[in-house]
């Protein structure tokens, strides 16, 4: 993947974040999401790629743009695109931390076409690569990862979505001595944090969206971490949806290389609200300041982009809130 595209992809997530950030704390999650989608879709038209959305806002009959199968870009190399213009709709609506605009790009056929259903996940950073087993008890994974990090289980912080379905793994982690950070929404950002030293997060556990799992896997691949996942169907319709997307073994354990093939993947994200790793969008008279991360798996390069945008110099594709 051409490195010159990295900044172009950041511009795409910046546009979504700036448009969406106007809706922070206003209780309008649908309007916030639509603003992010509109801005991201418009920004893609300026990027020299021939992209196909493989993870997006839903099927063609469910979303007017950035739907699965939509072609985007100004023309160029053929790539698969996974997007979430607003990860954390409730977070933006309530003015809570942790929401991001995010995308991943890889050569055609390299991103898992994940169905819109739940996925069980475990993710860690580079030093714990090869030390996780999604089928093993939580206690065993914690001990294995703690040993790889040269620390005690009691020193670890595990991020888990605060959902009733996670009561058992929360109890297991607490009984093992680990500290827990419960989050209300959005598990892509915590997956990134788990793979970067110094964030005080050492593992992501639990069940979240399968599409978000692929986005998280792209970030983990760029950071040299590790991840495993399994689909978590709620009913027969979920099983059929998975089969229609080519997944015949519903119990398959997806490794990181199953989720994202090869190392020609790029990942970009811009914070909308304040996060542990990135600062949220800050507006001033006639402009805004954004904070983004962009990564390439092939080189292992991780860049943080702190940008100031002047709207009178560079009109942004924004729908005013």
Residue 156 CA from chain centroid, whole number: 22
Instruction: Read off the tokens for 307.
Output: 């940008």
Q: What's the pLDDT score for residue 315?
A: 60
Q: List the beta strands (DSSP E) in 219-301.
A: 226-231, 254-255, 266-271, 282-284, 287-296
Helix axes 29-44, 5-21, angle to 10 degrees: 150
Residue bearing tokens 């507006």: 283
Tell me the C-alpha distance between 80 and 92, whole Å: 27
d(CA 229, CA 303): 27
Q: Which residue has the tokens 């998975």?
A: 242
pLDDT digits (tens, 9 = 90+) for 25-34: 999 999 999 9
272: DSSP letter: S
pLDDT at 321: 53
Q: How far apart are CA 33 and CA 240, in angstroms?
A: 28
CA-to-CA dists, residue 195 to 202, 266, 268, 289, 298, angstroms: 7, 16, 15, 26, 17
Q: Among residues 91, 90, 89, 68, which one has the least CA distance to residue 80?
A: 68
Residues of the chain with pLDDT under 50: 318-320
- Whole-angstrom distance, CA of residue 290 vs CA of residue 35: 16
Residue 62 has a pLDDT of 67
This prediction has a pTM of: 0.94
pLDDT of 53 reads 96
Instruction: Please give the Cα distance from 37 to 63 (Å, whole number).
Output: 10
pLDDT tens digit sequence for 292-319: 999 999 999 999 999 999 998 876 554 4
Angle at 181 between CA 93 and CA 37, to 5 degrees: 30
User: Which two structure tokens, joined as six digits, stand for 253?
Assistant: 């354990």
Predicted local distance difference test score (pLDDT) of residue 320: 46
Two tokens at 263? 């190392």
Helices (H), the chain: 5-21, 29-44, 89-94, 138-148, 167-176, 188-194, 210-223, 236-244, 256-259
């Amino acid at each position: 993947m051409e490195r010159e595209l990295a900044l172009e992809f950041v511009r795409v997530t910046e546009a979504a974040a700036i448009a969406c950030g106007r809706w922070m704390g206003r209780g309008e999650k649908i309007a916030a999401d639509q603003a992010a989608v509109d801005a991201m879709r418009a920004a893609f038209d300026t990027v020299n790629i021939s992209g196909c959305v493989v993870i997006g806002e839903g099927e063609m009959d469910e979303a007017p743009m950035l739907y699965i199968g939509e072609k985007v870009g100004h023309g160029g190399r053929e790539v698969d695109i996974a997007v979430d213009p607003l990860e954390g709709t409730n977070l933006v609506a309530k003015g809570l931390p942790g929401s991001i605009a995010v995308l991943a790009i890889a050569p055609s056929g390299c991103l898992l076409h994940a169905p819109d259903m739940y996925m069980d996940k475990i993710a860690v950073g580079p030093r714990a690569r090869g030390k996780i087993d999604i089928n093993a008890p939580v206690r065993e994974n914690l001990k294995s990862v703690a040993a790889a990090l040269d620390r005690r289980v009691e020193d670890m912080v595990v991020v888990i979505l605060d959902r009733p379905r996670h009561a058992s793994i929360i109890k297991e982690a607490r009984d093992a001595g680990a500290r827990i950070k419960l989050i209300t929404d959005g598990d892509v950002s915590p997956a990134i944090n788990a793979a970067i030293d110094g964030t005080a997060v050492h593992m992501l556990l639990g069940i979240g969206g399968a599409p978000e799992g692929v986005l998280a896997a792209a970030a983990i691949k760029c950071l040299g971490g590790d991840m495993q996942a399994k689909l978590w169907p709620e009913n027969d319709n979920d099983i059929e949806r998975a089969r229609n997307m080519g997944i015949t073994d519903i119990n398959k354990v997806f490794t990181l290389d199953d989720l994202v093939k090869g190392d020609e993947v790029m990942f970009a994200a811009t914070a909308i609200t304040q996060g542990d790793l990135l600062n949220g969008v800050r507006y001033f008279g006639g402009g805004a300041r954004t904070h983004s991360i962009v990564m390439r798996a092939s080189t292992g390069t991780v860049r943080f982009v702190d940008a100031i945008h002047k709207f009178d110099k560079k009109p942004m594709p924004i729908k005013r809130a």
